Amino acid sequence: NAGVTQTPKFQVLKTGQSMTLQCAQDMNHNSMYWYRQDPGMGLRLIYYSASEGTTDKGEVPNGYNVSRLNKREFSLRLESAAPSQTSVYFCASYGYTFGSGTRLTVV
């Protein structure tokens, strides 16, 4: 099925560990986005990529890095995870189509 695929679906990290969240879309969209969702906060933009080869900060970029590997893939990296990064992370394509999320817990 066409859409946005995120991996992994669940992850538990210890404080200080690093990990990369993967996202891929097969709709040939130029723009891709990473959001985090916390209870009562709605969705907040972490980083976005308007097109292949470009990335830019969103509302809450601290503690994250991103890579737009090619037109299909946009990854989010936590270099040194902190408990405040416990959240549900969503990748979106063109702003309209969302993946099913990665549920991350940092202990």
Partner 1 sequence: GQQLNQSPQSMFIQEGEDVSMNCTSSSIFNTWLWYKQDPGEGPVLLIALYKAGELTSNGRLTAQFGITRKDSFLNISASIPSDVGIYFCAGHPNSGGSNYKLTFGKGTLLTVNP
Nearer to partner 1, 15 or 100 (CB): 100
Nearer to partner 1, 13 or 92 (CB): 92
DSSP secondary-structure letter at 27? S
Nearer to partner 1, 16 or 95 (CB): 95
Q: Point out which residues bind partner 1 (CB under 8 A).
A: 4, 29-31, 33, 35, 40-45, 48, 50-51, 58-59, 90, 92, 94-101
CA distance 99 to 97: 7
CA torsion sign, 78 to 80 to 84 to 88? positive
Give the list of residues 6+ apart from residue 59 with CB closer than 8 angstroms, or none.
44, 45, 46
- At its nearest, how many Å lie between partner 1 and the CB of residue 51? 7
